[in-house]
Amino acid sequence: MSRPVVDYDALTEMDDPDVAFLAGSDDLEIRSAAGERTKSASSSAVGRSALRRRSPSWCSSAWLWIFLLCLLVGCLVITLGVILYRRSYDKAMRVVFSDGLENSSAVLMVWKKEDFASLTTTMTMTSWEDLVDKTTAAPKPALVEKCAGLTACYSQRKRLPDTVHPHIYHLNLTVPNVTHGAYSGSVKIDFSVSDTVMLIVVHAKNLTIDISKIRLGTKSESGIDGWILPSSICECHSLDQLQISTRHTLQPGTAYQLEIVFSGVLSNGAAGFYRSSYLDENNKKIFLATTQFEASDARAAFPCFDEPALKAIFRVRLTHHPSMTALSNAPVKTSVFNQGHGSQTTEFEDTPIMSTYLVAFILCDFVKKTQKTKSGVEVNVYAVKHKLGQIDFALDTAVKVLKFYEDFFGIKYPLMKLDLIGIPDFSAGAMENWGLITFRESMMLYDPVESPLNQMDQIAITVAHEIAHQWFGNLVTMSWWDQLWLNEGFATFMSYLGAEAAQPQLSLWQRISIDTVQVALPLDALSNTHAIVLDVEDTSDIASRFDTISYYKGASILLMVYRFLGPSVFRAGVSTYLSKHQYGTATTEDLWSALDAAWPPGNVHGAKTVKDIADSWILQPGFPKVQAFQRPNARQVDIIQSKMVSMSHLDGYGPTWMVPISMVDSGGSVGAGTVASGWLDGQTTGLNLSSAEVKWFKLNANQSSFYRTNYEKANWDALTTALKANISSFSPEDRANLLDDAFSLSRAGKLSMTTVLNLASYLTRETHYLPWHSALPYLHGTENLLFNTEAFMSYRRWRRSLIEPVFKTTDCFHAIPSDISKRRFCINTFDEACNADLPECIAKAQKMFEDAEKNITRIPPDFHDAIYRTVVKHGDEVVWDRLWHRYQTTQVASEKHILLLSLSATKNMWLIERYLRYAFNPEMIRPTDTVTVLMSLSLNNYAARESVWRTIRRQWDVIVERYGSDSTISGVIRCLDWMTSEADLEEVRTFFRQPGRKLGAGALALNQTLETIDLRRQFLKLYSNQTGIWLASQNH
């Protein structure tokens, strides 16, 4: 509703020149000091200024009679108003006033008749305490504005004011029927201010606010003392804000309470307060209500101060159907059946002080299993009834991880319960809501009979990640989203320590460099990367920061710090950081300060601090390329750093990093030599080899630091010779690192493909899974690059030649290896042999599949992925339909995910188009899985690429509506990373850069994809012929 326009020409005058009644009404105009010019939104809009005092024209008797008549009518109206006022305090006299404050005018409610009598004595006041009604009658604001457009809002700031501090939320929600989705609620927010305040701003998004019931009052221990009268309220949809203006100045030292009544509808997406569903054992659809608030969707469930630093206690009460179990962050306090309404009201204990994005509440009919930790914490894992047998591994991991973290951090978990729950529709992998962690089902459920080893890995790491957040993020929260890495980088790093402690048989700590450093380096090499700590304001910018840099580069830097500090110093510093900032917020500076306090002096030359070392990695994008040269006939290796850049970008000195350098060499004989270490502080440094006669040397031992290493051709050749002669000369981590560096340097135009392919040829002798785990993405990626070149078929033959001898000498089917490393090696070998179209592998997969269909044998779970993909790729529509039916009916989350990926391997164009239609049909494939289908088809299936690109263009509006507000949309854009030509580049650029094209949170991903396509184009121009010549020389 827009502000009412006053007809100034209709005003009549009284003896007091500063008060005027609106003609024919009981409304007054209160003017500021005489002659002071004021401006209002409404008056300026129509070009009017404040009224000036007129000189009455008493010489005319007609005017005198008109004046007396109007005065009489006015008195009668006032008398009638007083009578009505006495009958109902809900009827208030409106006063139009103009006080000159902030050049604004507003409509104010006057609630007591004695206030009206005193108006003539308060015309120039700047303090409005007299307008606070000390009764408890509920005020109703007089003016509500929709504030269409940002400029119409009272405040245009994207961030909330830092002067209002919430303390307690009293949140009441009523959800009568989850199936229908409508709900109502109220929230009372106890708060204080740190400065004088006349504008209260809270977040609200897609909610219906009952403006007439907004109440703002002063509060004491006995309750509300009096109401502060709102002057106007702006629903600023552009900023997801409800802006409440009051003429009473809120003062520091006073307790206040804001009450808002609202209603909403459960979202059909996977954010905010939303509705999910599943099929029970009788194929009946069952609905549940759940939440996902990170980063900025708590405001879509209830009005709140939705910023991470504005932490408070939450008292949650849910009224719901009695058949539903109600869950929230804290344990249940009371649960009462409402006889008259047939509903149940569940009230929860107070939460710890926490951020809004960590609030969670769920209504479901799930069942649970429970264990207690030695410290008395009740750990519950919830799932749908017929999947209860799949939660034991997650429960066991959670109990052990919780104990490990309590010991490691030296701080007890602060709640008495920790719930884990698998949600059928969930966009992220999991969410760390304090005391109520939500998971995608495939990240929590493990079937001992049907789930593969990598499912166990994923669950252990994910559970450990989310429980780490109970300290990093929940107990100590980042001050703002630019510090997101303190949450996600820390949880990612700690998840490997936690998973190793809980499930040591999986040897997950050995994988940390491959899973974090090797994942983050390629993206951070792009010019369209970003620093770990980077200013963000818009919600779309916040969503885009939930990316590889925040998670995996953040974890990589912590791994580097952990290794140069040592475990005991790192642990002591982290414990100090958490203790000092618990229940509050922190910044990167706070972390470095705590680690420095725990680090004995004199550890690094030049008296460097952790901050000195780490800031270069955190505050600037990218990372160094370290070039190493051995001096002729000398023991010294000269080391030079420059920023890692790609292709046409020239190496330059530019920024530097303080790099921890470690080195291994041949030691003059076969076998690992002495490890040397030092610091690269500035452009250059040097390290001494174990002797002048070493045959090879390698930097970044076990890939413990975040950089690429390049060598002279002679050392690359020596490394290759040593690998082919005796792979045990290097640790598995170092072999994996050599492959990772070589392929990546070639992609950047820094190392010839002949050197890389020569090095990778040693894989025919490789029997450890780590180097294969590093090599496989590059082997597949290079094949994708060469798809439209003459070298493609030659490359496929060479790739097949690498795996063939390994496959023929590896037998993994008579018995599952007891050694985890060998078991992983078997999985990688069979997977790569079938991907490379090795005939023996294809035949083996097809036979095992048919035998399983005839119930002759069972397929070992570790090989479901490779076998399903192979039979789909080389099979017909009948095979595809069998697996599609299995996808629709299986109740095993890991099996469902494997089938979803495997179905994308078909080469049948009709099936590809059919699968794409299913991907956008919520009745066939959940919207949370649509992007998985698109990515699998586009990046792993040559036949499907163009179809996926057409579908993305055709469905772009749907994609933006579904995924535009979170990082999922980045995955859709990355589906185009396969492109290689100038024409491809221009086509993508033209589509996405069309005027009015919405990108949501995908703007950064688009820039990265455009750069990736261009780099692929340049790679082919530089290396395709060279690669073809080398392959021909190897008889491929």
Q: Which positions ≥6 away from 109 have C-beta within 8 Å? A: 92, 94, 139, 140, 141, 142, 229, 230
- What residues are designated binding site? 465, 469, 488
Q: State how far the alpha carbon of 159 is from the alpha carbons of 481, 539, 697, 904, in Å.
A: 12, 10, 53, 43
Structure tokens belonging to residue 498:
């936690």
Contact 110, 131 (CB under 8 A): yes
DSSP 432-459: --TTEEEEEGGGT---TTT--HHHHHHH
Is residue 832 part of the annotated active site? The answer reads no
DSSP state of 330: S
- Interatomic CA distance for residues 369 and 379, integer angstroms: 8
- What residues are designated binding site for Zn(2+)? 465, 469, 488
Structure tokens belonging to residue 612:
């000195």
User: CB count, 10 Å around CB of 136?
Assistant: 12
User: CB count, 10 Å around CB of 283?
Assistant: 7
Peptide linkage before 295 cis (omega within 30 of 0): yes
Contact 911, 920 (CB under 8 A): no
Which among 17, 3, 225 has a CA at the least distance from the CA of 94? 3
Residue written as token pair 């391997």: 905
Which among 502, 494, 506 has a CA at the least distance from the CA of 769? 506
Q: Which positions ≥6 away from 730 have C-beta within 8 Å? A: 664, 672, 698, 722, 723, 738
Instruction: Label residues 147-167 b or e (16+ Cβ within 10 Å = b).
Output: beeeebbbbeeeebeeebebe
3-state secondary structure 16-47: CCCEEECCCCCCEEECCCCCCCCCCHHHHHCC
Dihedral of alpha carbons 709, 713, 715, 716, sign: positive
Residue of 29, 307, 347, 466 with catalytic role: 466
Structure tokens belonging to residue 301:
């469930």
Q: What is the helix (H) or strand (E) element at residue 494, kind and residue range?
A: helix 484-502
- Interatomic CA distance for residues 361 and 135, integer angstroms: 35
Q: What is the helix (H) or strand (E) element at residue 345, kind and residue range?
A: strand 343-348
Report the length, in residues, of the chain: 1036
- Interatomic CA distance for residues 424 and 383, integer angstroms: 9
With both helix axes pointing from N to C terminus, report the angle between 1003-1033 and 732-747 in degrees, rounded to the nearest 10: 100
Q: What is the helix (H) or strand (E) element at residue 849, kind and residue range?
A: helix 839-853
Catalytic site positions: 466
